[in-house]
Amino acid sequence: MNAHQIITGALNNGENVYALGNIEGLTFTACAVGSDVVILDSDFNRVQIVPGNNRLLVSSLSCCQETGKVM
């Protein structure tokens, strides 16, 4: 699949394209969507979009359970 064929809101292909995190007792989900990382709250409402490089797809990500940092 080419980058221009990605359906808005669909996760990238791969095993580590989403991760669960926790910050100050609030659970969130970080998802790789195209070249961006999308942060969703526990009800899957969009909280933030972290824009990435338009030429590169996010292939994996991880969340630190202690600090809530997305890597």
pLDDT, position 1 = 47
User: Is residue 59 within 8 Å of 32, Cβ to Cβ?
Assistant: yes
Mean pLDDT value across residues 57-69:
90
The whole-chain average pLDDT of the chain stands at 86
**Tokens at 34, concatenated:** 């195209």
> What are the extents of the domains in the chain?
3-50
Among residues 54, 61, 55, the alpha carbon closest in space to that of 38 is found at 61
Please classify residue 63 by burial: count the beta carbons closer than 10 Å to its beta carbon, then call 0-12 exposed, 13-18 middle and 19+ buried: buried
**Statement: residue 2 has pLDDT above 60:** no
Please state the pTM of the whole predicted model: 0.81
| pLDDT greater at residue 42 or residue 2 | 42
Q: What is the dihedral of CA 47, 69, 36, 7, to 10 degrees?
A: -60
Express each pLDDT in 15-32 by its tens digit.
899 999 999 999 999 999
